[in-house]
Amino acid sequence: MDKFEEKIIKPKSGILMLIVSILMLILCTPVFIIGVANVVAVPVIGIIAILASLAFLFFGILNLCGLHQVNPNEALVLVLFGKYFGTVVEPGYYFVNPFARPIVPASTQSALDLALEAAADSGKSGKKDKISAPSTRKRISLKVNTLNNDKQKVNDVLGNPVIIGTNVIWKVANPTKAVFNVEDYSDFLSTQCDLVVRNVARLFPYDDFDDTPETTADGEKTLRGSSQEIADLMQEELQKRVVDAGLEIQDVRITNLAYSEEIAAAMLQRQQASAIIAARQKIVEGAVGMVKMALDQLDEDGVVVLDDERKAAMVSNLLVVLCGNKDAQPVINNGSIY
């Protein structure tokens, strides 16, 4: 059993307690006045009235501390004296134990640190971004979120540096685990996403070349040609890593994929060379077929009888014409080839 097994609670409605608290706060003033007025004439009644007014004030404020509002797609995780009390997931206005405190993951940076960091980043980029302090919300959002993972440089299975970026769609599935099992589930997800992208990308080549070894995913899957399969594998691996944090990974997509700058030009030349070789191979195959067809047609029709030397010369001329990059320049021979 999980140490922090989620316990869903449904507290009482807070409307009635809100009315009672307001009445107690309203009554504390006249009761206090009555007590002060009678403290000399009737000391017992005066002291009781003063104590009652103070009790009204104390419990009125205390009860207001137990009122909480839960919006749709939000959860309220409560702790009581250092122990897990329960989780409220249904939207509504509730009254819980006033000593039960809502808890959310706290950032390790203070508001001042975040403001200074944001100011430094905006100064470097030349942009005037709005600096905001950390959120003071006491509820966990269950809405679907998007993590745009920054581009990072990784190595594929061949050791080539590759720039890759991903987009992750996720949400909090278990707010209790998200609060108690990790310090900050958003930062935890971002870190795990970086690790998964790096570990998965190094299992496959960027592209499929003729010299790709068979050990690289059987020469089938590549980062460029099998992006959907690679993204599905990333989603599976990322879900395994964040399940203890109570997160659900709904989708992972590769948003950016390219060779690193230091080898991009060389790899582009390699791709162009591969394309040229493939095109030349196709041209040669077609030219050989056309030459064979021409020789067979001449033999069948009996147009001319060619010995082996003349056939070789004809084959050479036809291949030059059919495989050349430029238009052929014919040379008229009035004599014999001998």
Q: Are residues 150 and 249 in the same domain?
A: yes
Work out the percent of the chain whose per-residue pLDDT is above 90.
Answer: 1
Q: How confident is the model at residue 220 (pLDDT cuts 50, 70, 90)?
A: low
| 333 assigned to some structural domain | no
| 273 assigned to some structural domain | yes
Q: Are residues 151 and 249 in the same domain?
A: yes
Choose between 38 and 118: higher pLDDT: 38
Q: What tokens appear for 101 in the block?
A: 């405190």
Select from 259, 293, 313 the last residue of a domain: 259
Averaged pLDDT score across all residues of the chain: 76
Q: Which of 146, 238, 251 is nearest to 199 (CA)?
A: 238
Is the model's pLDDT at 68 over the cut of 70? yes
Select from 259, 279, 307 the last residue of a domain: 259
266-285 pLDDT tens trace: 566 666 666 777 777 787 77
Q: Are residues 152 and 250 in the same domain?
A: yes
Determine the Cα–Cα distance for residues 257 and 205; give it in Å rounded to an integer. 12
Q: Are residues 268 and 251 in the same domain?
A: no
Determine the Cα–Cα distance for residues 103 and 78; give it in Å rounded to an integer. 6
Among 204-208, 214-218, 231-235, name the one with the lowest average pLDDT: 214-218
The total number of residues written for the chain in this structure = 338
DSSP calls for 127-155? --PPP-PPP---SEE-S-EEEEEEEEEEE
The 10 Å CB-count burial string (b at 16+, else e) for 51-77 is: ebbeebbebbeebbebbbebeeebbbb
Q: Are residues 207 and 307 in the same domain?
A: no
| 119 assigned to some structural domain | no
Name the domain count of the chain: 3
Q: Are residues 150 and 255 in the same domain?
A: yes
Q: Are residues 317 and 291 in the same domain?
A: yes
Q: Which domain holds residue 89?
A: 12-102
18-54 pLDDT tens trace: 898 899 888 888 888 888 887 677 788 888 888 888 8
Token pair 């137990």 in the structure block, residue: 66
| 167 assigned to some structural domain | yes
Q: How confident is the model at residue 239 (pLDDT cuts 50, 70, 90)?
A: very high
Q: Are residues 63 and 90 in the same domain?
A: yes
Is the model's pLDDT at 135 over the cut of 50? no
Q: Are residues 241 and 278 in the same domain?
A: no
For helices 43-65 and 14-38, the axis angle rounded to 10 degrees is: 160
| 127 assigned to some structural domain | no
